[in-house]
């Protein structure tokens, strides 16, 4: 049985290429459902393809995907969390950018 890592960084679409093979959290809103999964819009406005688990559909406008980054534009979902119908995506994106800012990243997320 494989275990998923306990740490999952919050990212936007522009940060995905830095996290290929790692577990991340992507706050997003669904744009289109296809046979391959959701096409979603991330907090920075970029589009990401999310491969869904069969029972992980959302009815909310916003949700967070927890999954493994398969490529710079796609995530394989482990699970999701509904975030409701009102969310300030600009604030979410600003927070993500601050988290990954070199002035703060190493102090907060590295030993």
Q: Please state, in angstroms and as integers, the Cα–Cα distance from residue 62 to each residue in 59, 86, 110, following that order.
A: 9, 7, 29
Q: How far apart are CA 23 and CA 87, in angstroms?
A: 23
pTM of the model: 0.86
Smallest CA-to-CA distance from 18 within 111, 87, 96 is with: 96
66 strand-pairing partners? 25, 79
Predicted pLDDT of residue 104: 81
Per-residue pLDDT tens over the stretch 56-65: 667 899 999 9
Q: How far apart are CA 101 and CA 94, in angstroms?
A: 10
Predicted pLDDT of residue 1: 41
Domain ranges of the chain: 9-109
Whether the per-residue pLDDT at 49 is higher than 50: the answer is yes
Instruction: Please name the fold of domain 9-109.
Output: OB fold (Dihydrolipoamide Acetyltransferase, E2P) (2.40.50)
């Amino acid at each position: 049985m494989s275990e998923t890592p306990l740490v999952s960084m919050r990212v936007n679409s522009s940060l995905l290429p830095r996290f290929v093979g790692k577990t991340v959290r992507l706050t997003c809103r669904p744009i289109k459902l296809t046979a391959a999964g959701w096409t979603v819009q991330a907090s920075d406005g970029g589009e990401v393809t999310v491969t869904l688990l069969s029972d992980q559909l959302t009815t909310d406008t916003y949700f967070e995907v927890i999954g493994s980054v398969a490529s710079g534009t796609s995530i394989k979902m482990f699970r999701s969390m509904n975030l409701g119908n009102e969310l300030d995506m600009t604030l979410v994106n600003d927070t993500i950018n601050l988290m990954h800012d070199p002035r703060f990243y190493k102090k907060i997320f590295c030993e």
